[in-house]
Amino acid sequence: MTTTTNNIFTRAQQPFINAAFTDFSQEAAQRAQIEALEQVKSELGQTYPLIINGKKIKTAETFASVNPSNPSQVIGYFSKASVEQANEAVQVAARTFETWKHVPAEERAGYLFAAADLMKERRFYINAWMIYEVGKSWVEADADTAEAIDFLEFYAREALRLSGEQPVVQVEGEKNALVYIPLGVAAVIPPWNFPCAIMVGMTSAAFVTGNTAILKPASTAPAIAYQFMRILEEVGLPAGVVNFLPGSGSVIGDTLVDNPLVRFIAFTGSRDVGLRIFERASKHQKGQRWLKRTILEMGGKDAVVVDETADLEAAATAIVASAFGFQGQKCSAGSRAIIVEQVYDEVLAKVVEKTKKLTLGDPTQPTTYMGPVVDENAMKKILDYIEIGKGEGQLLVGGNHRGSGYFIEPTVIANVDSHARIAQEEIFGPVLAVIKAKDFDDALHIANDTEYGLTGAFFTQNAQRLERVKAEYHVGNLYLNRKCTGALVGVQPFGGFNMSGTDSKAGGNDYLLLFTQAKAISVKK
Ligand SMILES: NC(=O)c1ccc[n+]([C@@H]2O[C@H](COP(=O)([O-])OP(=O)(O)OC[C@H]3O[C@@H](n4cnc5c(N)ncnc54)[C@H](O)[C@@H]3O)[C@@H](O)[C@H]2O)c1
Ligand SMILES: N[C@@H](CCC=O)C(=O)O
């Protein structure tokens, strides 16, 4: 790594500013993205190794990551780690931890700054991998890359802040200090839906705080994770600090979670897998010297709520953006619209009209708003929910699979009971359940009446109601008079309550504390 310590501190003194989103109306940006798509297209179909202790290991057994827009197109063939290789990676990470834990915070932060710089240079190239591998539109892919850059910039600064002197009460005759030290070996297990941002965020948070990590990418998004591994290698991150372990989530995942040398698990994914990890990690394994910590970010059943005082046009626009952005495959997706009776028909009509205008198609094209859902399993699950929904409400828009890829039309189902399955269960696709509420109080009750608590939006122009919503709408990310997706790092620290996870706030000032433990040091004068 070339960045000197002074440069690192100077860089960290610059205020954190979110990376701007690309303006694709500019011809230069369009040209750059098209060129990057061509470049990535020329790289599709390669074979990728595991990376353990800096060594690239190609396994006999591989799995293919395919383009959900065109499933016959292979993104790449990925080595499939065995149980033995997973345990070997943990051993390597544990050995590496004994040196990495003493590396000064400014050196660790320097790797994040250097990685951020490379990611900025390769922004369109990284966007292109997401457009191909998980069907993100240009805008959604660019926002994901921007968020990854933000996590690197933000956590570098946070690591330096935490390494500084912490406030403790001093007493006569002693010098007291509180220092944050790392935990140990991390199993980092990200989802496929923010395949760059969340993967980078959790991985960088783990190693910038002095831990070492095994990164097990989602099996539908390993290519993007590999691009990050390339960047870490190019900035000179020492071998063994982050080990790359594609493979079966259930086989490799369980192995990592159960290994007694793993100190904590940073996971983002579904409710059921999160619960599985929570339970397995709580079991004390033979030779384990700690209680495994779990940092779990799980599902949501988020709602956009509208009362009779709201700006109805703005509310309808937000409902559609929250429900169908990235095909509804966001934990923050507004999969419920809860509208008070007095304005229900008017808002519903606007939602139907706007939904019908959404473009569904090839995400490599700049004008496409919605691409495919991520894989065949997701498509089948979502279509099954649509069939259930036809019995729980009135299908007004969409409901069909389209074309040869995993494309599903944006689907609106109205007059849904608030306890219906499509109003309670996370579908994780382009399906919106529209629920009628009697009044403001009923709407707020319905909004809170799921097992989740991740994000929520409330449209009202009544000041007293705004204060009640702030106090009573029980979600980790609450938005008033705007859509319920699109949290910015540092601006809206992200994470939710109840079954949405362990209440962590990614991109917040307390997030890195989850990756550390505090040590009090007292020196007699
Ligand atoms: N709360 C948040 O911040 C947030 C963010 C993004 C996604 N999500 C949630 O993630 C889900 C979609 O992502 P997904 O489909 O990748 O979720 P998933 O739970 O299917 O997979 C998540 C990760 O866990 C791995 N995994 C699977 N089985 C495992 C096991 N037994 N042990 C350990 N790891 C295992 C997978 O390989 C993947 O890497 C949705 O429920 C969404 O709400 C939540
Ligand atoms: N942080 C993202 C959601 C991540 C979950 O999928 C948002 O705020 O929209």
Nearest to 302 by CA among 95, 474, 87, 129: 474
The yes-or-no verdict on residue 2 having pLDDT over 60 is: no
Tell me the best of 21, 147, 192, 194 to mutate to test the pocket of ligand 2, counting ligand atoms within 8 Å of each CB and taking the most: 194
Rounded average pLDDT over 297-305: 98
Instruction: Give dist(CA 486, CA 322) in Å, integer.
Output: 9
Residue among 88, 147, 297, 409 flagged as catalytic: 297
Q: Amino acid identity of 278?
A: F
Going along the chain from its start, the domains and CATH numbers come out as 27-298+504-524 (3.40.605.10), 302-489 (3.40.309.10)
Q: Tell which one of 268, 327, 494 to mutate to probe ligand 2, the residue whose CB is within 8 A of the most ligand atoms.
A: 494
Structure ipTM over 0.95, yes or no: yes
Active-site residue flag, 107: no
Given the CA of residue 455, which atom of ligand 2 is nearest to it?
Answer: 8
Which pairs with CB-CB distance under 8 Å and at least 24 residues apart come from 95-100? 95/240, 96/53, 96/212, 96/238, 96/239, 96/240, 96/241, 97/182, 97/184, 97/185, 97/211, 97/212, 99/238, 100/207, 100/210, 100/211, 100/212, 100/238, 100/240, 100/241
pLDDT band for position 3 (50/70/90)?
low
Q: Which ligand is nearest to the CA of 151?
A: 2
- The pLDDT assigned to 202 comes to 98
Q: Which residues contact 261 (CB under 8 A, 6 or more apart)?
A: 90, 91, 93, 94, 184, 185, 288
Residue 18 has pLDDT above 70, yes or no: yes
Ligand nearest to the CA of 251: 1
pLDDT single digits (tens) 99-157: 999 999 999 999 999 999 999 999 999 999 999 999 999 999 999 999 999 999 999 99
Over residues 170-194, the mean pLDDT reads: 98
**Ligand 1 close to Cβ of residue 138 (< 6 A):** no
The CB density around residue 265, as the number of other CB atoms within 10 Å, is: 22
Ligand 2 test: best mutation among 196, 324, 330, most atoms within 8 Å of CB?
Answer: 330
Residue to mutate (ligand 1; options 224, 270, 379; most atoms within 8 A of CB): 270
Residue 124 near residue 146 (C-beta atoms within 8 A): no
pLDDT digits (tens, 9 = 90+) for 359-406: 999 999 999 999 999 999 999 999 999 999 999 999 999 999 999 999
Determine whether the shortest distance from the Cβ of 246 to ligand 1 is under 6 A.
Answer: no
Looking at all shown ligands, the one closest to residue 214's CA atom is: 1
Residues lining ligand 2, Cβ inside 6 A:
193-194, 330-332, 485-487, 494
Using pLDDT thresholds of 50, 70 and 90, give the confidence band for residue 449: very high
Please give the distance, rounded to the nearest whole angstrom, from the Cα atom of residue 487 to the centre of ligand 2: 6
Ligand 1 atom nearest 256 alpha carbon: 33
- Tokens coding 348: 């519903």
| Cα angle for residues 459, 463, 467 (degrees, 5° grid) | 85
**Whether the Cβ atoms of residue 331 and residue 484 lie closer than 8 Å to each other:** no
Predicted TM-score (pTM) of the model is 0.98
**Band of pLDDT at residue 5, cut at 50, 70 and 90:** confident
Ligand 2 midpoint to CA 411 (Å): 21
Instruction: Give the N- to C-terminal CA distance of the chain in Å, as an integer.
Output: 39
pLDDT at 428 over 90: yes
Q: Report d(CA 382, CA 333) in Å as an integer.
A: 14
Looking only at the bridges linking them, the beta strands covering 411-414 and 407-408 are unpaired
247 C-alpha to ligand 1 centroid (Å): 14
Q: Report the alpha-carbon distance of residue 241 to residue 99 in Å, rounded.
A: 10
pLDDT digits (tens, 9 = 90+) for 310-341: 999 999 999 999 999 999 999 999 999 999 99
State the pLDDT confidence band at 6, using cuts at 50, 70 and 90: confident
Number of neighbours of residue 370 by Cβ within 10 angstroms? 23
CA distance 328 to 432: 9
Question: Is 70 exceeded by the pLDDT of residue 185?
Answer: yes
Ligand 1 close to Cβ of residue 298 (< 6 A): yes
The answer to whether 399 and 382 are in contact (CB under 8 A) is no
Using a 6 Å cutoff on CB, does residue 302 contact ligand 1? no
Question: Which ligand does the CA of 134 lie closest to?
Answer: 1
Atom nearest to 333 CA in ligand 2: 9
Quick: pLDDT tens for 244-295.
999 999 899 999 999 999 999 999 999 999 999 999 999 999 999 999 999 9
Binding site membership of 254 for ligand 1 (Cβ less than 6 Å):
yes
CA nearest to 408, candidates 431, 425, 432, 377:
431
Instruction: Pick the residue whose CA is nearest to atom 25 on ligand 1.
Output: 249
